[in-house]
Amino acid sequence: MTPRLNSADWRAAARSALPRFVFDYVDGAADDGLCKRRNRDDLDRVTLTPRVLRDVSRPETGIKVFGRRWAQPFGVAPMGLNGLSWPGGDEALARAAAAHGVPFVLSTASNVRLEDLRARAAPGIHWMQLYVMHRGLAEGLVERAARAGYEALVLTVDVPVGGNRELDVRNGFRVPFRPTARFLCDVMRHPRWAWRMARAGRLDFANLRVEDAPGADSASLQAALLTRAMDRSLTWESLAWLRRLWKGPLLLKGVLHPDDARRALDHGADGLIVSNHGGRQSDAAPSAIAALPGVVQAVDGGAPVFMDGGIRRGDDAIRALALGARAVFLGRPLLYGLASAGAAGVDAVLSQFKADLQRGMALLGLENLDDVPGSGLVVGGPDCSPSRPSRISSHQGDIR
Ligand SMILES: Cc1cc2nc3c(=O)[nH]c(=O)nc-3n(C[C@H](O)[C@H](O)[C@H](O)COP(=O)(O)O)c2cc1C
């Protein structure tokens, strides 16, 4: 077996382990995949100039967020249908996150009930991600998440409608689901995956069973989530409704515009996740790393700003921190690990990120992560943020 040294190796392993329709669901993006590519291209353009002859014998990677210590400045992004990559995928991700001292965000579209995840994977830092399909259902989810002990609520705001994922359509991965001959061949070519799935039994959106929405038809609720049929009438005013229901930290995920960032804080958000959903929603959106400095500047220290999208190595996390992120969230690389080797794969990917981060810090002369923004690291060439070059230079003292 070729050694799996980085996210690209894990991606190749996942590609051969998974049927095509599952790999494309995990790896795919919206429209032409431009936004997904932009996430990487713009990260690649952020350079960090090392400082030398500093004591880096014990790099401190820990940070504090909402009063809790994270051992690393990264967490597990919310992802739906993790049980398709590996049975019990949500639990495997949550346990690995806990073992590494980093947070896990459970998706509304998980394949485990939110209460069961807490029972099976606690203790750990668990956040709950919310999709609002309709208000009554969302209220139920929020109340259940509070009762189950989730520490923060992440409202995803970049899915008013589903992104155009043409690979899923081509693969027949849609509602109503009708297996084609091509689909069956695809599954048969991956007998290990098929055997694991057959043993695990039926997969569903476990948070949305019929008992969770009395009077509703469970099958149509499940279909609505798969097609991302959301409540399109959600507005800034709706945040007051959520704020009343949820007393803990409330974060908005999918904010890219500085004005939206300011508005979010005015409407009671406690944190923001700068994200374009890994390029799975608007293909015209800027990369997350390019949008980050504008949001950080708009928030002006009023709340922690997180970022996700395209993070593939430890250095990427440092790049984001250098541009003002408190921490980053990891998406696809963890699913590549999960799909290739189950819980052991997730653990291996997180271990690589940690080792990468420690090496990167030492090479850059960073003793701890609080040093990053003010350390004199030099960010980028003249245009490391294509949309806002001047903001990058204006926002952080000695980052030029
Ligand atoms: C397979 C998959 C499913 C996802 N499901 C959700 C979801 O249910 N809720 C959500 O807010 N974001 C979801 N996302 C977006 C991730 O939370 C995150 O924003 C994105 O994956 C980060 O980009 P990266 O994969 O390049 O790291 C999903 C992403 C993937 C790859």
Give 251's strand partners.
154, 271
pLDDT of residue 241: 95
Determine which helix (DSSP H) or strand (DSSP E) holds 129, and give its type and residue range. strand 126-130
The chain-wide mean pLDDT, for the chain, equals 91
pLDDT of residue 375: 62
CA–CA separation, 343 vs 86, rounded Å? 9
pLDDT of 382 higher than 50: no
Q: Please indicate whether residue 324, judged by its CB atom, sits closer than 6 Å to ligand 1.
A: no
Give 170-186 pLDDT, tens digit per residue: 998 876 677 788 889 99
pLDDT of residue 394: 30
Question: Mean pLDDT, to the nearest integer, of 39-44?
Answer: 97
| Ligand 1 centroid to residue 79 C-alpha, Å | 5
Q: Please indicate whether residue 278, judged by its CB atom, sits closer than 6 Å to ligand 1.
A: yes
How far from each other are the two terminal CA atoms of the chain, in whole angstroms? 44
pLDDT of 2 higher than 50: yes
Domain holding 131, by residue range, is 7-395
Question: Mean pLDDT, to the nearest integer, of 206-222?
Answer: 79
Give 299-337 pLDDT, tens digit per residue: 999 999 999 999 999 999 999 999 999 999 999 999 999
Alpha carbon dihedral 376, 382, 388, 393, in 10-degree steps, equals 30
Q: Is residue 2 part of a domain?
A: no
Give the confidence band of 381 by pLDDT, cuts at 50, 70, 90: low
| Ligand 1 centroid to residue 203 C-alpha, Å | 19
Q: Is residue 400 part of a domain?
A: no
Q: Is residue 124 part of a domain?
A: yes
Q: Is residue 354 part of a domain?
A: yes
CB atoms within 10 A of CB 151: 17
Q: Please indicate whether residue 311, judged by its CB atom, sits closer than 6 Å to ligand 1.
A: yes
Side-chain half-sphere exposure of 316, counting CA atoms within 13 A? 25
Which CATH number belongs to the domain containing residue 137 in this structure?
Answer: 3.20.20.70
Q: Which of 100, 126, 190, 277 is catalytic?
A: 277
Q: Phi, psi at residue 250, to the nearest 5°?
A: -115, 125
Q: Is residue 170 part of a domain?
A: yes
Q: Is residue 1 part of a domain?
A: no
Give 136-162 pLDDT, tens digit per residue: 999 999 999 999 999 999 999 999 999
Give the rounded percent of residues in the chain with a pLDDT score beyond 90.
Answer: 79
Is 277 catalytic? The answer is yes
| Ligand 1 centroid to residue 167 C-alpha, Å | 16
Side-chain half-sphere exposure of 58, counting CA atoms within 13 A? 1
Count of the separate structural domains present in the chain: 1
pLDDT of residue 392: 34
Question: What is this structure's pTM?
Answer: 0.94
Give 250's strand partners.
153
CA–CA separation, 381 vs 400, rounded Å? 9
Residue owning the nearest CA to atom 14 of ligand 1: 79
Q: Is residue 333 part of a domain?
A: yes
Q: Is residue 304 part of a domain?
A: yes
